[in-house]
Every structure is written in structure tokens, then in C-alpha cells.
Amino acid sequence: MVDIWLDRLTEGLALAQDEQTATDILAKLTVEAGFIAYSYLDLHADNTKAISNYPFEWQKRYFEKAYARVDPVVREAKVKMAAFPWSILTVAATSRERRQFMAEAADFGIRSGISIPVSTGYGRLALFTLASSQIDARALRAFNPVLAAAAIAQLHVRLSTIAMRPTARREVNLKSEEISCLRWSAEGKSMQAIAVIENTSYANVVFFLRNAKAALGATTLPQATALAKEFGLI
């Protein structure tokens, strides 16, 4: 059943020209396959974007609390890097934080599912999940992992091509000085030049850019400016 669904997903998204059409196709096929919801995560370091029809309150909580860091399904996906079924009965939840996460997800009807991870390059991971309200949906285990990976890789490329706007993402709050320094850095200005332009000290520019990198979850300045652009901050 899942293999047929994956074929239909590939065929349907080939016709999608915009965000609304793509999400309509995903929602329709998800219900037809007997699942309650779908989730597509684009993960990179501490930054996560999502396209999903999970309950809005759950999505909001997931991003506000940065749950991608403790989500057992995400952790298992990074280790296995292959399609796998999971449930609240089988997912390893060795810490109190992870047990709490699974309990909260169950409160929103997310109790089992199939998750399909694919590497998208440069340290990024795309993870697609079909979720069920059943506690242990054994029927979910019969699917072809190779076909699943190929289909989700195509899904990722298609969503990137039509420039889908994520339904939710981790909120990043930057101060005006941090945004200004990032903007000038994106324009190719050195930190010394930024200090002159902003009429401040070199030490302040270093401080503002260090804080901006931390808020964005970036390790380098080029990565920080790229993420700031991606989030629409500069």
C-alpha cells in the first residue's frame, strides 16, 4: 500500500506548479493511504523548516521548544538514514525529555508512522513522515525502503524547485545592530569597514556578529548571512 502511495506521490507532485497544489496533493494522498497527517522537515544544524498538516498547536510547540533536538524519530533517522516505521511503543526514549516529547505528540494523535530520511547535501537532512493515530500500526512495516528514499528525494527536489514557503520554523530574534552588521557582511564588508559605517567600535561589531551567529545556529559568518537571508531577516 505504501509503495503504491509513493508512486502516486511522485506522479502527483510532477504536476504541482505552486505551494497550494503541492500541499493539496500531499494532504489528499495521506488520507487515502490511511494516515492522519504528513510532515516534511528540512533539517540543518539547529535550523528546521517544516511543511506539514499536523495540528497547528503541535507545530507551534515543536518549533518554539526546538523539539527537533530531542525528537526520537529525528535522532533515529540520522542514525539509520533509511526508511523505518516507528511507534510510541518502539521508539527509544531514554531520557525524560524524550519521553515527555512522545507523550505530547500522542496527545495530538501522533502515535506511530513511517519516516523516510534522505541526505540533501552540505550536512542537511530531509525527513518525510506519514503519521497514524494508532499506537502500533504493524501494517506500516511493509514498504520498499529504496523506493521510499527515491520518492522522498524527488519530493525534496520538487519542493525546492517551487520554492515552497514553510508552514513553520524556529523563530529567530535578532537586535537591530545584529541585523545591520549581518546585512553589511552580506554585502562583502569587513568587520573593520562595518565599524566605520555603523559608527561603532570593531569590538562591538565582533560582539554583534557573534551573537547573531549564536541566534541563527551558525558556526561561520557566511553561514549566518545565508541563514539570515533564508529567514528573510536581511
Q: Is 37 helix (H, G, I), strand (E, B) or coil?
A: strand
**Do 134 and 186 fall into the same domain?**
no
pLDDT at 201: 95
| Per-residue cell: 103 | 507523550
How far, in Å, CA of 77 to CA of 84, rounded?
A: 8
Write down which residue in 135, 169, 203 finishes a domain.
169
Pairing of strands 112-121, 84-87: antiparallel
pTM for the model stands at 0.69
pLDDT at 6: 76
pLDDT at 51: 85
Write down which residue in 116, 148, 169 finishes a domain.
169
pLDDT at 134: 86
Number of domains in the chain: 2
pLDDT at 1: 59
Where the chain has pLDDT below 70, the residues are 1-3, 45-48, 92-94, 122, 136-143, 163-171
pLDDT at 148: 79
**Do 139 and 95 fall into the same domain?**
yes
**Do 28 and 131 fall into the same domain?**
yes
pLDDT at 85: 86
What domain range includes position 148? 2-169
Nearest to 146 by CA among 123, 122, 116, 124: 116
**Do 133 and 63 fall into the same domain?**
yes
One-character DSSP codes across 116-149? EEEEEETTEEEEEEEEESSS--GGGG-S-HHHHH
**Do 123 and 209 fall into the same domain?**
no
**Do 126 and 180 fall into the same domain?**
no
- In Å, how far are 36, 159, 218 from 18, measured between CA atoms? 23, 9, 30
**Do 105 and 187 fall into the same domain?**
no
Write down which residue in 121, 145, 169 finishes a domain.
169
